[in-house]
Amino acid sequence: MKKFILRHFIAGSLLALLLLIQACAVNPVTGKKELSWMSEAWELQTGERYYGFQQQAGGGYYTIDPDLTLYVRSVGKKLIPFSARAHLPYDFVVLNDSTPNAWALPGGKIAINRGLLIELDNEAELAAVLAHEIVHADARHSAQSQEVGTIIAGGQVLATVLLANSDYNHTALQQGVALTSLYGQTRYSRSRELESDRYGMQYMREAGYDPRAAISLQETFVRLSNSNKAGVFSTLFASHPPSQARVDANRASAAQLPAGGLLNRQRYQQEIAQLIDRQPAYEKADKAGKAIANKSYRPALGYAQQAIAIEPNESRFFELKGIALNRLNRAQDALQAYSRSIALDPNYFSPLLRRGLLKHELKSFSGAERDLKDSLKLAPTQVAYATLGEIAERKGFGCSQAMGYYQQAYRAGGSQNQEIQRKLAALKVSCPAN
């Protein structure tokens, strides 16, 4: 018996050692061997699977100025040929969020918020941001992140996308978006940040940009981190913490590279001119969101209307108007505002979700059902599934359909889990066959 156990122990140990050896992979950027359990196929699948959800969690596409996204993509495409994994299906998008931030998913899916573009001075600084994120993807930093892996396993994130500011009498709106944790959640180590800075500067220089722009970028972030604007940058600083040591390291890296290169300040300022012109509108919208969070609905409505007066084609402004109107018990006006928001941008889940929930409250169940299902095509939320379960029960669609929605709601995760469990238990009693 002891020999049997010993043989199996040895066999198991050898198998574990073999797996550990197989898990060692070469970092494509540095050429060093690192522990890696993730295959490239997994990276590609993960990036593709969560890319759309991440964009929804980040405010959706910035649709007002499509040329801005084309411009950002053109800068990213200049860098790709010099990356260590140029074969990856890289993509670059601009998200409609005032929060200064940028992120990379495994497989080369990269996003930058309009709020960060406002803070940059020239095209080379934009290249520095994108090159930095490209290195994160090239070196598998996000794929190897323990924080990412943990949350991907659960498949959930507590998204904020204006939902946190809604005070919609649906707590699940603040917690129920079943996405990954990659957006604004990944915490890179100091060594990985420095690695991304160093090799990103090399990518920049090979693409013709002045690598010293990475220094000025970090100097700006250090200054902002010590100013009264630090809170605005909290998401970016949490995932990409600035420091004087990082500035010094970048300066040392730049000294090892050939001097000179493009800044393209004039072109950059031209490309973001429309964004700058609309900035007063987004500042009013941000004030509307804060007022809603503070339950100051009349001021919120005023700010939203001021934002609309400046830019009448921005979907998010009408959504904010709808939230304020709904909280002021002007349901029909709120429906009109949500409808206008959806007409301007039918590919963002939030106004569809809000209109569906409001229709449900008004007992317009068929319309609610359509909106909620459409919202789920874009982002799976617990509250949408749970409300569809309630509609299925009310319309007499049968226990199996209602239970199916409640089960999906429970899997999505959120603050309603206890209530959903109660409803599932009740359905099992009343419909024992199911």
User: Residues 16-25: pLDDT tens digits?
Assistant: 434 444 455 6
Confidence class of residue 95 from pLDDT cuts 50, 70 and 90? very high
Q: What percent of the chain has pLDDT over 70?
A: 79
Residue 330 has pLDDT above 80, yes or no: yes
**Where residue 428 falls among pLDDT bands split at 50, 70, 90?**
confident
CA distance 77 to 234: 29
Residue 164 pLDDT > 50: no
Least confident of 148-162, 176-190, 361-375: 148-162
Write down the catalytic residue from 119, 125, 133, 314.
133
Give this prediction's pTM.
Answer: 0.84
Higher pLDDT, 194 or 297: 297
Confidence of residue 414 (pLDDT cuts 50, 70, 90): confident
109 or 152, which is more confident: 109
Parallel, antiparallel or unpaired: strands 91-95 and 109-113: parallel
Q: What does the pLDDT read at residue 30?
A: 66
Q: How many CB atoms lie within 10 A of CB 162?
A: 23
How far apart, in Å, are the Cα atoms of 318 and each of 1, 309, 337, 344? Answer: 74, 11, 5, 9
Predicted confidence band at 322 (pLDDT cuts at 50, 70, 90)?
Answer: very high
Residue 144's pLDDT is 62
Lowest mean pLDDT among 95-99, 282-286, 392-396: 392-396
For residue 76, pLDDT over 80 is answered with: yes
Res 178 pLDDT > 70: no
Please report which confidence band the pLDDT of residue 234 belongs to, taking 50, 70 and 90 as the band edges. confident
Q: Look up 219 and say whether it is catalytic.
A: no
Q: Taking Cα atoms as reference points, which of 201, 220, 207 lies closest to residue 264?
A: 207
**Res 342: pLDDT:** 98
Contact between 414 and 383 under an 8 Å Cβ cutoff? The reply is yes
Tell me, what's the pLDDT at 289?
A: 96
Q: What is the pLDDT of residue 186?
A: 54
Say yes or no to pLDDT of 420 above 60: yes
Asked if 409 contacts 429 with a C-beta cutoff of 8 angstroms, the reply is no
pLDDT on residue 21: 42
Specify the range with the lowest mean pLDDT, choosing from 192-201, 202-211, 422-431. Answer: 422-431
pLDDT for 40? 82
The whole-angstrom distance between residue 79's C-alpha and the CA centroid of its chain comes to 23
**What mean pLDDT comes out for the span 301-316?**
98
Q: Which residue blocks in 173-243 are alpha helix, DSSP H?
A: 190-206, 213-225, 234-239
